[in-house]
């Protein structure tokens, strides 16, 4: 079904600045607090936040079967539960209301006053209540780099990696929206050359450049999702910084995998960009050799061309872009991840979040973490002010950005930006 809202020639009566991530073709979904302290579900065009709760109350969605309070909520979970058909009806209707040729709301200043906010009048919230969070490890380049550093350069990829989208169950309690500062974590590490661990602040706090997808209710317990249906259960994507304490990770991860090195904070961008909006940017994913088992075999263009970058901004300094990567480098696709996740009957719910894993490209300037960019501290990165970084310093701000661009159409994710504060030491 072609998406009317994707028409690249469509323009909005809301001004859209040059190079904005949010033209009328994007129509992402988020949750924000308004200047009147009301929490609502909304979307964004240009630099205007649009209150969907108010639009619905004013009757603009009367032809779509929606409950009265569907947008008057502090999370998107119920709306996401309504399913793909409803998401499409709502996106197409928003696209119609804000089309330059439509006088309905364009000519009604009273309604505009109720519905429109500038971005600096709203405070973005976490868009969904994340029930469960899983993080994959699906970039071959990243898994190879980490395998070389943490284990054995000769056998960097473990034997299961090319057959299974490897992942672990993370923790959703510490997933936070962009703008929320975090603390350097305390914990155990094993100093180099020592045989007993010490307690203290992590000395190697790192970002992980990831994206994450948000699901709808996908299956009943016991029933897997076939690969050809998997994308129907993916609502959309956000940028995802999976904060990591590398020194703690190295000590704790054997034999059960990531734990406290990962769950002190994970930051996401606040606008969920739908898979429908990303359709024009579909691209093939890397060839898979060996061929995956039949339940993981997927046809067509399986990935998306999403440019990604990370900048570090020191306290009172200018940002330095430290890496540029692309979502299309992912070896395992989202559909393969979701299908594999449910092959045993594991239930996936509306608002669950699945991280891609760190997205590293093939070249050293496209690696998705400081661990790889500075190669475990041996090749520090130089910032624009001349300072060196092997990992993230106190008071540094880390900002991830992402966007797609093709034939003059740019659809983006905005950013996820997080400041690292000093540890709350208890020593
Ligand atoms: Mn991760």
Share of the chain above pLDDT 90, in %: 95
pLDDT at 51: 98
Q: Are 176 and 126 in contact (CB under 8 A)?
A: yes
Q: What is the CATH number of the domain that holds 120?
A: 2.30.30.230
End-to-end CA gap in the chain: 61
Q: Domain residues for 109?
A: 30-124
pLDDT at 337 over 80: yes
Once rounded to an integer, what is the mean pLDDT over residues 322-334? 98
Same domain? 49 vs 140? no
Q: Are 38 and 60 in contact (CB under 8 A)?
A: no
pLDDT at 426: 58
Q: How many domains does the chain have?
A: 2
Same domain? 101 vs 240? no
Evaluated on CA atoms 371, 374, 380, 383, the torsion sign reads: negative
Once rounded to an integer, what is the mean pLDDT over residues 57-80? 97
Same domain? 109 vs 214? no
**Distance between Cα 90 and ligand 1 center (Å):** 32
Once rounded to an integer, what is the mean pLDDT over residues 58-82? 97
| Residue range 160-215, pLDDT digits in tens | 999 999 999 999 999 999 999 999 999 999 999 999 999 999 999 999 999 999 99
Question: Which one is catalytic: 56, 142, 329, 340?
Answer: 142
**Distance between Cα 354 and ligand 1 center (Å):** 10
Once rounded to an integer, what is the mean pLDDT over residues 137-160? 93
154/332 Cα distance (integer angstroms): 23
| Residue range 384-411, pLDDT digits in tens | 999 999 999 999 999 999 999 999 999 9
Of 124, 144, 162, the position where a domain reaches its end is: 124
**Distance between Cα 167 and ligand 1 center (Å):** 9
The set of residues, in sequence order, having a beta carbon less than 8 Å from that of 124 and lying 6+ positions away, is 30, 31, 32, 177, 178, 179, 270, 271
Same domain? 115 vs 151? no
φ, ψ (nearest 5 deg) of residue 387: -70, 150
Decide if 272 is inside a domain: yes
Residue 148 half-sphere exposure toward CB, CA atoms < 13 A: 11
Q: Which of 139, 67, 69 is nearest to 326 (CA)?
A: 139
| Residue range 312-324, pLDDT digits in tens | 999 989 999 999 9
Once rounded to an integer, what is the mean pLDDT over residues 91-109? 98
pLDDT at 4: 82
Report the mean per-residue pLDDT for the chain: 96
Share of the chain above pLDDT 70, in %: 99
**Distance between Cα 313 and ligand 1 center (Å):** 21
**Distance between Cα 390 and ligand 1 center (Å):** 18
pLDDT at 1: 47
Same domain? 294 vs 192? yes
Whether 329 is a known active-site residue: answer: no
Between 34-38, 52-56, 199-203, the lowest mean confidence (pLDDT) is in 34-38
Residue 268's CB: how many other CB atoms inside 10 A? 30
**Distance between Cα 212 and ligand 1 center (Å):** 10
pLDDT at 33: 97
Strands 133-136, 353-355: pairing is parallel
Same domain? 149 vs 35? no
Q: What is the CATH number of the domain that holds 265?
A: 3.90.850.10
Q: Which of 331, 345, 305, 319 is nearest to 419 (CA)?
A: 319
| Integer Rg of the chain from CA | 22
Strand partners, 321: 311
pLDDT at 417 over 50: yes
Residues in the chain: 427
Residue 68's CB: how many other CB atoms inside 10 A? 9
Q: Are 335 and 302 in contact (CB under 8 A)?
A: yes
| Residue range 233-288, pLDDT digits in tens | 999 999 999 999 999 999 999 999 899 999 999 999 999 999 999 999 999 999 99
Decide if 19 is inside a domain: no
Decide if 92 is inside a domain: yes
| Residue range 217-247, pLDDT digits in tens | 989 999 999 999 999 999 999 999 999 999 9
pLDDT at 427: 52
């Amino acid at each position: 079904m072609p998406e009317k809202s994707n028409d690249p020639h469509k323009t909005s009566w809301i001004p859209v600045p040059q190079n904005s991530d949010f033209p009328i073709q994007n129509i992402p979904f988020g949750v924000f607090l308004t200047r009147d302290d009301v929490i609502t579900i909304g979307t964004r065009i240009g630099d205007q936040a649009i209150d969907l709760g108010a639009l619905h109350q004013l009757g603009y969605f009367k032809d779509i079967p929606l409950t009265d309070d569907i947008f008057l909520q502090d999370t998107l979970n119920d709306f996401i539960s309504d399913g793909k058909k409803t998401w499409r009806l709502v996106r197409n209707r928003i696209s119609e209301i804000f089309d330059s040729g439509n006088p309905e709301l364009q000519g009604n200043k009273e309604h505009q006053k109720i519905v429109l906010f500038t971005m600096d009048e709203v405070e973005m919230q976490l868009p969904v209540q994340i029930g469960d969070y899983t993080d994959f490890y699906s970039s071959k380049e990243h898994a190879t780099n980490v395998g070389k550093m943490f284990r054995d350069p000769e056998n960097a990829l473990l034997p299961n990696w090319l057959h299974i989208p490897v992942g672990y169950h993370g923790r959703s309690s510490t997933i936070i929206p962009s703008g929320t500062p975090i603390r350097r974590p305390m914990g155990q590490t094993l100093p180099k050359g020592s045989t007993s661990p010490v307690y203290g602040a992590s000395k190697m706090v790192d970002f992980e450049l990831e994206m994450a997808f948000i699901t709808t209710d996908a299956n009943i317990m016991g029933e897997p999702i076939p690969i050809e249906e998997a994308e129907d259960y993916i609502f959309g994507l956000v940028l995802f910084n999976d904060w990591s304490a590398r020194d703690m990770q190295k000590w704790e991860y054997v034999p059960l995998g990531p734990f406290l090195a990962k769950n002190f904070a994970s930051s996401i961008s606040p606008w969920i960009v739908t898979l429908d909006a990303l359709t024009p940017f579909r691209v093939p994913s890397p060839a898979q050799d060996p061929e995956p088992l039949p339940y993981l075999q997927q046809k067509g263009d399986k990935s998306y061309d999403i440019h990604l970058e990370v900048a570090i901004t020191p306290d009172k300094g200018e940002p330095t872009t430290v890496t540029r990567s692309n979502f299309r480098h992912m070896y395992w696709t989202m559909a393969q991840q979701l299908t594999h996740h449910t092959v045993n009957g594991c239930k996936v719910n509306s608002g669950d979040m699945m991280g891609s894993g760190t997205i590293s490209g093939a070249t050293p300037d496209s690696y998705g973490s400081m661990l790889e960019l500075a190669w475990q501290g041996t090749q520090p990165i130089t910032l624009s002010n001349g300072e060196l970084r092997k990992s993230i310093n106190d008071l540094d701000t880390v900002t991830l950005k992402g966007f797609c661009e093709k034939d003059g159409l740019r659809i983006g994710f905005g950013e996820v930006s997080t400041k690292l504060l000093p540890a709350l030491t208890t020593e």
